[in-house]
Amino acid sequence: MDKVKVTGLKKSYGSNEVLKGIDMEVREGEVVCVIGPSGSGKSTFLRCLNLLEEITAGKVVVDDHDLSDKKSDINKIRENIGMVFQHFNLFPHKTVLQNITFAPVELKKQTKAEAEKTAMGLLERVGLSDKANAFPASLSGGQKQRVAIARALAMNPDVMLFDEPTSALDPEMVGEVLGVMQDLAREGMTMIIVTHEMGFAREVGNRVIFMDGGYIVEEGTPEEVFGNPKHERTISFLEKVL
């Protein structure tokens, strides 16, 4: 069953067309890694999947909800789509625990006590139980990103979107974040990951999508895309990054 189904997706900023017609779908439990040169539209594509970017044309269906339909309640749909950002975007005026419990309590998914219990469980999962009462400013980049993942998971989403989650990290912290994501993948979470970590994409991804110039140029299993790329542009891109 398709968790995410995208048909004919186009996105323009004024006269500048960034996405020129994307078709793809993601099955439940699948881990899709999106790779490509910067400016290829991969981050914009990801942000269209929870409507952080308005869709110019085409159709995006997540969990049987049509995002492109103006009548659908976008807040309700977003509750089921977790997102992790390149720059973490933790709330600096809230503690780690408050960052995680904010949405579930605010949206009345859980009582404060329940939410805190869940949050402590999530913090244990990402290895940060001791930081519950710390403020984000006192955390390292890797710790921040792990809290951000826990915050997204607190809403118990069906799909997780990752927008270059390790790009802003010092190299020695990339591992701890990828480790958490790998665990998540193993537990069967449906994930779409925009990444520059080719090793991770090859190891954890069920499918790899190569984007360039606003199109999906090539897609397939990691073995196909990395081992035997068919398209000219894929080959030249992989030559540069591998």
Token code pair at residue 70? 């103006």
Given 19, 26, 81, 177, the residue binding another protein (CB under 8 A): 81
Region of 74-82, 111-119, 183-191, 213-221 interacting with another protein (CB under 8 A) = 74-82
| Interacting positions 6-25 with another protein (CB under 8 A) | none
**To the nearest 10°, the Cα dihedral for 227, 21, 25, 213?**
30
- Report if residue 102 touches another protein, rule: CB under 8 A: yes
Strand 16-27 to strand 190-194: parallel, antiparallel, or no bridges (unpaired)? unpaired
Give min distance, CB of 29 to another protein, in A: 21
Per-residue interface string for the shown chain with another protein, residues 35-54, x marking contact by CB under 8 A: ---------------x-x--
Contact 37, 238 (CB under 8 A): no
Nearer to another protein, 77 or 120 (CB): 77
| Interacting positions 129-158 with another protein (CB under 8 A) | 148, 151-152, 155
Nearer to another protein, 193 or 208 (CB): 193
- Report if residue 91 touches another protein, rule: CB under 8 A: yes
What whole-number distance in Å separates Cα of residue 106 and Cα of residue 155? 11
Nearer to another protein, 107 or 241 (CB): 107
Give min distance, CB of 52 to another protein, in A: 6
What whole-number distance in Å separates Cα of residue 165 and Cα of residue 86? 5
Nearer to another protein, 13 or 231 (CB): 13
- Report if residue 200 touches another protein, rule: CB under 8 A: no
Contact 100, 122 (CB under 8 A): yes
What whole-number distance in Å separates Cα of residue 111 and Cα of residue 108? 7
Give min distance, CB of 172 to another protein, in A: 24
Question: Taking Cα atoms as reference points, which of 11, 4, 3, 2 lies closest to residue 211?
Answer: 11
What whole-number distance in Å separates Cα of residue 135 and Cα of residue 93? 7
- For residue 209, CA distances in Å to 23, 37, 57, 163, 219 come to 11, 12, 21, 14, 4
Region of 5-13, 16-24, 72-80, 195-203 interacting with another protein (CB under 8 A) = 72-80
Residues at the site binding another protein, with contacts judged by CB under 8 A = 50, 52, 75-79, 81-83, 85, 87, 89-93, 102-103, 106-107, 148, 151-152, 155
